[in-house]
Amino acid sequence: MDNEELNNIENQDNTAQNPITSEVTNAPIQDGQIPQDSQAIANGSADALGLQNIEVEFEQGNYKQIKSLPVVVSQKISALTKTFIPLVEVALIELTGASTQYKRTSAIVTPSFDQESNLQISFTIVYTVPGYIGVDFEYNDLQNDSKYIYDRISPAGIKITKCEIDTSSGEITINGEF
């Protein structure tokens, strides 16, 4: 800026006006913002809460559980997708002979909370196996296949409430929670 521009700026009154812009960058020179103390920001003294991590805790309520929720959800979904479902599919491959012999029909996963605000995951997973459609199955054979799937998925540590084969549709339905 030359002296003439500085004189023009100094002689202006302080009434509302359009921001003055730089001729080089066309950025506002005066934009009504509160001036910042760059030295205070650089040395960290401008942070009203401080720079250290603050551990927020409450004497009552479920804040601690809600705060840990992202980690818990991630762990439970990982247990379902990386442990439980692969065990189910291994059992189906062993029973049918190939992964092309079944279809992943449906998976409904429902989160909820128990009385202590702990996350519970309930699920219903349905596979369709065309080889199970029919009327000429022995009840014991179906029961043995269902038990085989149940025994195969039990090591996952997930509570199984249903493991059933429906011969009218060929659907294998597994319900559980953890």
Question: For residue 91, is it within any domain?
Answer: yes
Torsion angle of the four alpha carbons 136, 140, 141, 145, in this order, in degrees rounded to the nearest 10:
130
Question: For residue 33, is it within any domain?
Answer: no
Rounded CA-CA distance 32/38 in Å is 17
Query: In 3-state terms, the chain is what percent helix, strand and coil (to 5)?
Result: 40, 20, 40
- Cα–Cα distance list, 6 to 9, 36, 88 (Å): 5, 22, 78
Question: For residue 100, is it within any domain?
Answer: yes
Question: For residue 58, is it within any domain?
Answer: no
Question: For residue 163, is it within any domain?
Answer: yes
pLDDT at 51: 56
Question: For residue 68, is it within any domain?
Answer: yes
Rounded CA-CA distance 141/128 in Å is 17
pLDDT at 110: 93
| Domain boundaries, position 139 | 63-177
pLDDT at 124: 96
Rounded CA-CA distance 83/156 in Å is 7
pLDDT at 116: 77
Whole-model pTM: value is 0.64
pLDDT at 13: 54
pLDDT at 170: 93
Question: For residue 6, is it within any domain?
Answer: no
pLDDT tens by residue, the chain, 178 residues: 566 655 555 555 555 555 566 666 766 666 555 555 455 555 555 555 555 667 778 888 878 877 888 888 888 889 899 999 999 999 999 999 999 999 999 999 999 888 877 888 999 999 999 999 988 888 899 999 999 999 998 887 789 999 999 999 999 999 999 8
Report the CATH number that the domain containing residue 104 is assigned in CATH: 3.30.70
Question: For residue 37, is it within any domain?
Answer: no
Domain count, the chain: 1
What kind and span of H or E run contains 122? strand 119-128
